[in-house]
Structure 1
Amino acid sequence: MDLFRALGFLTILPCPRQESSPEDLGRSSGWFPAVGAVLGAILAAAWLGLSRVLSPLAASSAVVVLWALLTRGFHLDGLADTFDGIGGGYSRESRLAIMKDSRLGTFGGIAVAAALLLKTAVLADITGISGSAALCAAPVAGRWAILFAMRFFPSARPGGMGDTFRKGCTGLQLVTGTAIAVPVALFAAGTAGAVLLVVVPCAALLLSLMMRSLLGGLTGDSYGAICEISEILSLFLFALLQ
């Protein structure tokens, strides 16, 4: 089932495992927001429990660590590689070459540290039940943003695995993901969720345009970066609108 395939690909949560080709994973992308909803429910429950016994900063720190562990740092790794390439390269080819290097560079380290610090600080600033609403919506928004990048922008490495993966994300997958993301955001977050549904796609398209201008297209790492930035943006919106 595509939901289990997406869940197994994006998280460490136990689920029925199955062999998946890049094409299969691309076809499962419509369920990425549903995976975000599962993550959001877990994180919101953890937040509600921890915030009763810990300070806001301690509770938010623990939840952000759990967030990274549940996703095995998958999108954080993409964020790091993307910033290493963009920050360290001087041409399209050099940026893509740096992004393929598995070693963590200075720009990537700064990006990961900034992402974790911003999530922690902003979440600690969101009071009461708004924190759980933000945690329900942000992982959904981040994975929904990936679908816009995959659907509307070319691959930086045509013919590669990422390109094959991207081609599996058709209009049907975008519609499926949107049909999941919209009600979850509205139910979990109300007015803030409605604002999120407007801002996140616009941000995803803008980020994708910037990356295409620098890389000639997008890669799997680019999708991870877009997810992480969209999640951070979502938390900031909740902090502003609470």
Structure 2
Amino acid sequence: MDFLRALGFLTILPSPRLESTPEDLGRSSGWFPFAGALLGSLLAAAHAGLALLLPATAAAAFSAVLWAFLTRGLHLDGLADTFDGIGGGYGRESRLAIMKDSRLGAFGGIAVASALVLKTSLLAGAGRTEGLQALFLAPVLGRWAILFAMRLFPSARPGGMGDLFRKGCTNRCLLLGTVVTVLFATAAGGMTGLLLLALVPLFTLLFSRWLASLLGGLTGDSYGAVCELSEILSLCLFAALR
């Protein structure tokens, strides 16, 4: 049940409609990396097929667009709101107010465009095997990073939806997500996967600490930004070590 709840929340993939509170979604967070593995499997399969028909850059671009589509742009939206807030605000309250505004600002637009361009170029520059490994593992590692951000940092808006979501994420959720991620990273990522098991939590800690210093904690948008940037970090490493 929790896996289906996580899958329905994180993707547009067909799953039973379940009535879920923010706390329910938080309790399902241990399954986020597993949902990421299913997403990554679909992306890798699609990319392998596209690479047979299209030049490398075009295949990578279609894969990046499919990635955004299958996730409803959920984490890209969080990335945009986060960078609108930290780029356009001058204090904690103004940053949080900007992040709550649904309109897309200049900093958010730049962040989303940059993320899509980076994913496309990194996939196009990776070798065939490395590209498929990266597409499978990046969604797993990105959603694993969310668990660290939720467990290790307070909410910037106590009582808000992000805070209720965070409270549902227990140490058991982090343990389950970690076990799943370690298994997938060691089985599918080789030495690069093992290296990312150290780098992704380290990046999450540093980036989340920086955000918390600006916002007084993290928000749901922050978790989206952590996920997107962790995915890009994973693609960077696979492309660099091809």
Report the TM-score range of the alignment, normalised by the length of the smaller protein. over 0.9
Provide Cα deviations, 1:40-87, integer angstroms capped at 9, x if missing partner: 000000111111111110000000000000000000000000000000
Q: Match of 2:181, as an amino acid? A: A
Matched, 1:149 2:146: no
Amino acid at match of 2:29: S
Write the mapping of 1:225-240 to structure 2, written as runs, cut at 5 A.
Answer: 225-240=225-240
Matched with 1:14 is 14
- Report the TM-score when normalising by structure 2: 0.99
The residue correspondences of 1:130-209 to structure 2 (distance < 5 A) are 130-209=130-209
Unaligned runs of 5+ in 1: none
Equivalent-residue separation in structure 1 for 2:159 and 2:137 (angstroms)? 34
SS of 2:233's equivalent in the other structure is: helix
CA distance in 2, matches of 1:225, 1:24: 22
After the TM superposition, list the runs of 4 or more consecutive aligned residues in structure 1 that deviate by more than 6 angstroms: none
Q: CA deviation at 1:10?
A: 0.6
Deviation, 1:188, is 1.1
Which residue identity lines up with residue 4 of structure 1 in the other structure?
Answer: L
- 1:117 is paired with a residue whose SS is helix
1:95 counterpart letter in structure 2: R
1:59 is matched with which residue? Answer: 59
Match runs of 1:29-178 below 5 Å: 29-178=29-178
**Which amino acid in 1 is paired with 2:96?**
L
The CA deviation at 1:185 is 1.1
User: How much does 1:240 deviate?
Assistant: 1.1
Query: Corresponding residue for 1:212?
Result: 212
Quick one: percent identity of the two aligned structures? 69
1:39 and 1:149 map into 2 onto residues whose CA distance is 21
In the alignment, the residues of structure 2 paired with residue 80 and residue 223 of structure 1 have an alpha-carbon distance, to the nearest angstrom, of 12
**Residue segments in structure 2 that go unaligned for 5+ positions in a row:** none
- The separation in 1 between residues aligned to 2:127 and 2:152, in whole angstroms, is 36
The CA RMSD measured in Å over matched residues stands at 0.5
1:139-178 Cα deviation digits (max 9, x unpaired):
0000000000000100000111111110011100000000
- CA deviation after TM superposition for structure 1 residue 17, in Å: 1.4
Aligned length: 242
Q: How far off is 1:128 after superposition?
A: 1.5
The DSSP-based 3-state class of the residue aligned with 1:51 is helix
Which amino acid is the alignment partner of residue 220 of structure 1? G
Which residue of structure 1 aligns with residue 222 of structure 2? 222
